[in-house]
Amino acid sequence: MPESDRPFSSILMAVLLLVGGLITLAAGAGYMDNPDVMDFVAALDIIAGAALVIGGICCLIGKPNLWKITLGAVAVEAVAGICMMTVTVIGGIILVLICAVFVWWLHTSAIRRWFGV
């Protein structure tokens, strides 16, 4: 899809996915050394961070049906947020709310039209 046909919000969200994915990836890697955080939660953060980066790249290139990768990444991140509540309740709630916003955004008509689904 030509750059001029993409809504600005889609490009903005792609950038947010990339930045958020890199932060999540780095946080998960940092949690591996923290004895208060289960290795499972840290691994989920690493996987979700990598998937969010891949989802952001998919959003930037605008390939049809690749939005499912982004949705899957957000779902994994939501599970990581729920698990994060074992360490910090507020941090886990914020993470789940951020995921809810991304899920809402993925189902708006603009992004569905942009990806052709």
Structural domain total, the chain = 1
Indicate the pTM of the whole model. Answer: 0.65
Which residues form the domain of 8?
3-115
Residue 3: CB atoms within 10 A of its CB come to 7
Helix, strand, coil percent values for the chain (each to nearest 5): 80, 0, 20
- Tens of pLDDT, residue by residue over 25-81, are 888 888 778 777 778 777 887 888 887 888 778 777 776 556 677 777 777 777 877
Burial class (CB in 10 A: 0-12, 13-18, 19+), 110: middle
Quote the CA–CA distance of 112 and 20 in Å, as a whole number. Answer: 21
pLDDT at 103: 73
Quote the CA–CA distance of 13 and 98 in Å, as a whole number. Answer: 12
